[in-house]
Amino acid sequence: MSWKQRLVPYWLLGPGLLWLILFFVVPMYFMGELALRSGTLTTGYAFDWAWSNFPDSLSGHTEQIVRSFFYAGTATVLALLIAYPLAYAIAFRAGRYKALLLFAVIAPFFTTYLIRTIAWKTILSDSSPVVSVLQTLSLVPPDGRVLATSGAVIAGLTYNFLPFMVLPLYANLERLDLRLVEAAKDLYSSSTQAFLRVTLPLTLPGIVAGVLLTFIPAFGDYINAQILGGTGQAMIGNVIQSLYLTQRNYPEAAALSFLMMALILAVVTIYIRFAGTGAFMGDEEEAR
């Protein structure tokens, strides 16, 4: 390979990496820097190594952080349970309709996040037939409601992030070599055993990728809590949004965002150390 040819990948990568560095990495630096300032709108934000912003921002909002973990976690588990069979069906039983089904999975994106969530708000409103059905089924107390409860927020999160769970699962499942499952069966294992011991472990990278891609955005979400929730359902995303846009307490907002970012970075890095970034994208790392 000539010297010029060796440079080709760098030219190809250049614009993208530059864009990501300038508009993803660098802003993170600015956010960190803003977190170390203190002040108000009228006095300006002076840089004075205000390290106290970090623990302060956490201590004031532990309730929302814990709540966000709980909501996002539950939503992720639910999404996994719903998405796995769906992804499996699309990968192996869809035949000609595969692309169509995949489109149906992304289709909700085309109606904008807000409208979808508002539609759910209506479907789940106190006087809707859906809620009446749920009440007769005793899933909801007779004089209870669905909206403005944790349940509604979790349901919203599950729905809105389902595609993020389906797609990585599907990408991974598609590569599953069914002959391995056949072989297990030939060796006298039952279907359940074959699933647990062959399919599940082989698709684990896809599962973990899906879980990460669902849990993390759900953790920082605030729309579902705002539209479907009530008092007492606020998530950490709501807090950050309020701090930035309503209270204009930029230093505390930046500190909180930065901490959230650091936490996620830690989790993702640990995972990638173990599984390689290829696994994150649902396939094995190429050894070309």
Partner 1 sequence: MSASRTRKRRVPLTVAAVVAALSLVLGLAACGGDTVGGGGNSGEVTVAKSGPVKGQLTISNWPGYIDPGPNGTVAEFEKATGVSVDYIEDINSNDSFFGKLQPQLEQGESGGRSLFVVADYMAEQMHDLGYLQEIEHKDLPTVFENLQPDLRSPAFDPERKFSVPWQGGMTGIWVDTSKAPEIKSVNDLFDPKYKGKVTMLDELRETPALVMLAEGVDPAKASAEEWLAAIDRLSAAAESGQIRRFTGNDYTEDLTAGNIVAAIGWSGDASIIENDNAEWRMPTEGCVKWSENMVIPVGAPNTAAAIGWMNFTYRPEVAADITQFVEYISPVKGVKEILEKRGSDLAESEIVFPSEEFTRNCTGQNTPPELDRVNEAWQNVLTG
Partner 2 sequence: MAVLSRAWGWLRRNALPIYACLAVFYMLIPIIVIAVFSFGATPKGKLTFGLSHGFTTEYWTSAFSLPELNEALLTSLRLAALATVISTAIGTMMAIALVRHKFRGRRAANLLIVIPMATPEVVIGASLLSMFIYLSFALGFTTLLIAHVMFSISFVVVVVRSRLIGFDRHLEEAAADLGATPLTTFRTVTLPLLAPGIMAAALLAFALSIDDFVISNFNSGTTVTFPLYVFGVALRGVPVQVNVLATMLFALLAVAVLIVLWQQRRGERLAAVKPEPEPEPQAPVPSTAPVAS
Sites for partner 2 among residues 181-210 (CB under 8 A): 181-182, 185-186, 188, 190-192, 194-195, 198-199
To the nearest whole angstrom, how small is the minimum distance from the Cβ of residue 142 to partner 2?
23
Q: Is 122 among the residues that bind partner 1 (CB under 8 A)?
A: yes
The piece of 78-86, 134-142, 163-171, 240-248 that touches partner 1 (CB under 8 A) is 240-248
Tokens read off for 142: 């007779």
Q: Of 10-18, 53-61, 131-139, 144-152, which part binds partner 2 (CB under 8 A)?
A: 10-18
DSSP sequence for the chain: --HHHHHHHHHHHHHHHHHHIIIIIHHHHHHHHHHTEEEETTTEEEE---TTHHHHHHHTTHHHHHHHHHHHHHHHHHHHHHHHHHHHHHHHH-GGGHHHHHHHHHGGGGG-HHHHHHHHHHHTSTTSHHHHHHHHTTSS-TT--STTSHHHHHHHHHHHHHHHHHHHHHHHHHT--HHHHHHHHHTT--HHHHIIIIIHHHHHHHHHHHHHHHHHHHHT--HHHHHH--TT---HHHHHHIIIIIS--HHHHHHHHHHHHHHHHHHHHHHHHHHHHHHHTTSPPP--
Asked if 59 is part of the footprint of partner 1 (rule: CB under 8 A), the reply reads no
User: Of residues 76-115, which lie at the interface with partner 2 (CB under 8 A)?
Assistant: 82-83, 85-86, 88-90, 92-96, 99-101, 103-115
Q: Which is nearer to partner 2, 46 or 99 (CB)?
A: 99
Q: Which does 69 bind (CB under 5 to 8 A by kind): partner 1, partner 2, none?
A: none
Q: Are 224 and 118 in contact (CB under 8 A)?
A: no
Q: Considering only residues 36, 50, 54, 64, which one is a binding residue for partner 1 as defined by CB under 8 A?
A: 64
Per rule CB under 8 A, count of chain residues that contact partner 2: 108
Binding segment for partner 1 among 154-162, 164-172, 236-244, 275-283 (CB under 8 A)?
236-244
User: In this chain, which of 35, 36, 37, 171 binds partner 1, going by CB under 8 A?
Assistant: 37
Q: Is 146 in the site for partner 2 (CB under 8 A)?
A: no
**By the criterion CB under 8 A, which residues form the site for partner 1?**
3, 6, 10-11, 13-14, 17-18, 21-22, 25-26, 29, 33, 37, 39-47, 60-61, 63-64, 67, 121-122, 125-127, 145, 147-148, 229-234, 238-239, 242, 244-248, 250
